[in-house]
């Protein structure tokens, strides 16, 4: 595929620099309240797209009840905000806001019908991360959602 606007040779987007810690291949294990007493396993890859203009996340979970997904992290200069566009194999599309500062990355979406948030805590050596999700349906109190542990493969 050709690159008509030259983005493959572009400099990385400086607003996404804090996401560099995520780049690489990760083994995942986790739990979800919809599948009690089950630990599932998978893989997640974070990689730069178009020379660092965006960061792409691909996740695959071996448990059939948990969808594999893709997400693109980008930045809106005018708003000074990061956004993540998510799509999974159920044909679910969502937009999240995100921040990544120090050893913590967060993404969230607020919707009266179904709000979600994820907090990734990155180990000091950058070799592992713990993700804790939460959800709220119809403005009810927050409850646990997807929980993942990431172990760096490269």
Average pLDDT over residues 72-101: 96
pLDDT at 3: 62
pLDDT at 11: 81
Average pLDDT over residues 17-42: 95
SS3 label, residue 91: coil
pLDDT at 65: 85
46 burial level (CB within 10 Å; 0-12, 13-18, 19+): buried
Pick the more confident residue, 6 or 79: 79
The structure's pTM equals: 0.90
- Return the percentage of the chain with pLDDT > 90, whole number: 86
What domains are there in the chain, each with its CATH number?
7-152 (2.40.128.20)
Alpha carbons 57 and 50: distance in angstroms, whole number: 14
Is the pLDDT assigned to residue 4 strictly greater than 80?
A: no
Is the pLDDT assigned to residue 9 strictly greater than 80?
A: no
């Amino acid at each position: 595929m050709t690159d008509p606007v030259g983005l493959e040779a572009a400099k990385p987007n400086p607003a996404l620099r804090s996401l560099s810690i995520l780049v690489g291949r990760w083994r995942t294990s986790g739990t979800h309240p919809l599948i009690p007493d089950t630990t599932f396993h998978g893989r997640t890859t974070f990689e730069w797209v178009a020379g660092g203009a965006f960061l792409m996340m691909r996740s695959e979970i071996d448990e059939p009840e948990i969808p594999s997904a893709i997400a693109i992290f980008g930045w809106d200069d005018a708003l000074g905000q990061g956004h993540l566009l998510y799509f999974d194999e159920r044909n679910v599309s969502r937009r999240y806001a995100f921040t990544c500062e120090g050893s913590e990355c967060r993404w969230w979406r607020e919707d009266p019908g179904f709000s979600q948030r994820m907090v990734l805590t990155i180990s000091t050596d950058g070799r592992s991360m713990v993700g804790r999700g939460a959800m709220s349906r119809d403005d009810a109190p927050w409850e646990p959602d997807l929980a993942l542990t990431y172990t760096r493969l490269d």
